[in-house]
Amino acid sequence: MRVRGLCRGVVTLALTGGLLALPGEQKKKDETQTLQLPRELPASVTAPTHRLVFRVTPLSAKGLLSAQVRDGLHALLRQANGETVLKIRAFVAGSGDLRRVRDLVSEVFTERKQPLPALSLVRAGGLPLEGAQVVLEAISAGRKEVDPFGLAWISAQVETSDNPLDPAAPLAARSLARLGEAVSAAGATPADVLRITCFLSRLDGVEGLRTSLAGQYPHAATDFVETQRAPVEAIAACEAVARLSADPGNLLRPLNPKGLLAEAGQSLMALVNSAELILTGTQASFGYQEADSRLAFERLLKELRQAGASAADVAFVHYYPLSGRIAQQVRQLRAGFFNADPPPAGSLATFEGLPSMDAGFALEAVAVKPAASR
């Protein structure tokens, strides 16, 4: 009898313990069910032209890609110090999953209860620090007006050599000399330059270039990116954004000053003085044929229309093809989508990769937002 009673007690306790455990188990199940996927980043954002601030995050070699992206985002938000980050362009080196960068941008900004930025995401050949896997270029909205007459978006000044093993530093020096001429032609001074990005086939000599730029352009955030690990030619292509010192006279003014070289199919620079700009993330082609590339252009223009702009309002376009053949395809197609006379300014360089394995190229745009659409 005592044994039976003891058994019944044990059974009762076991059942009670099981019942008591159920709420905890249910709670764990509920917590698992409430986990959410990262929020989708916007395809474009509206930016106040006269309050834009440009930054480049410091390189780090600590940890793998995810850790470096988090560190970069936290550094960026510290630099922004309460400003709204509107757009991020991320160049990723190495073999890490590019889509993870997009998820982390969403997670970090959501955790901080910050508006989500538009994102451009490109795989580069390398960065100028061994072990560094990501660099972030950011545009944020400052608290006060810092660009009263608007901005000059200056196309990449391309210098090439047929031998891919040639050092890029001499090419970069020539590219930067031409860039300096363009800054002057825009009516800006070196102190007005806000960001310079140089796309290079090799990173040898970058520290010398960085030191030189720091002395010549004291207020510019600078970035150096190796475009491909195995380029077919040596290249240096440096682009810039500068603060204007006088009203350009129009909301959008593409400009090709006499005596300065501009790539066929694009203007040397675009001067913008609209109250607002539209900054898009990248739109990628999914495939390598002309029809696939057309769809990427069409998706970009559709996004601009939804944001309140048209093809005629496009000031600057970045193109990121993955091969020379696709680059030529893009050059042939762009005149059919944007103004041809004068065309937008822009930069085109061949890169290592994009988030989708099927992508042949990607493009992003800066467009003025007409007053009537605000």
Give this prediction's pTM.
Answer: 0.89
The predicted structure's pLDDT at residue 346: 97
Mean pLDDT for the stretch of residues 322-330? 96
The predicted structure's pLDDT at residue 1: 37
Q: Each residue of 205-233: pLDDT tens digit?
A: 999 999 999 999 999 999 999 999 999 99
- Checking if the pLDDT of 24 tops 70, the result is no
38-146 and 275-374 have identical folds: yes
pLDDT band with cut points at 50, 70 and 90 for residue 5: very low
The predicted structure's pLDDT at residue 54: 98
- Does the domain at 147-247 match CATH 3.30.1330.40? Answer given as yes
The predicted structure's pLDDT at residue 18: 43
CATH number for the domain whose boundaries are 275-374: 3.30.1330.40
The predicted structure's pLDDT at residue 373: 55
Q: Is the C-alpha dihedral spanning 162, 256, 335, 360 positive or negative?
A: positive
Give domain limits for the chain. 38-146, 147-247, 275-374
Question: How far are the Cα atoms of 141, 164, 324 from residue 220, in angstroms, in the given order?
Answer: 17, 29, 31
For domain 38-146, give the fold: 60s Ribosomal Protein L30; Chain: A; (3.30.1330)
Q: Each residue of 336-356: pLDDT tens digit?
A: 999 888 999 999 999 999 999
SS3 content of the chain, % helix, strand, coil (to 5): 35, 30, 35
- Whether the CB-CB separation of 242 and 194 falls below 8 Å is answered with yes
pLDDT band with cut points at 50, 70 and 90 for residue 37: low
CA-nearest of 181, 170, 217 to 196 is 217
Q: Quick one: tokens of 258?
A: 């006499």
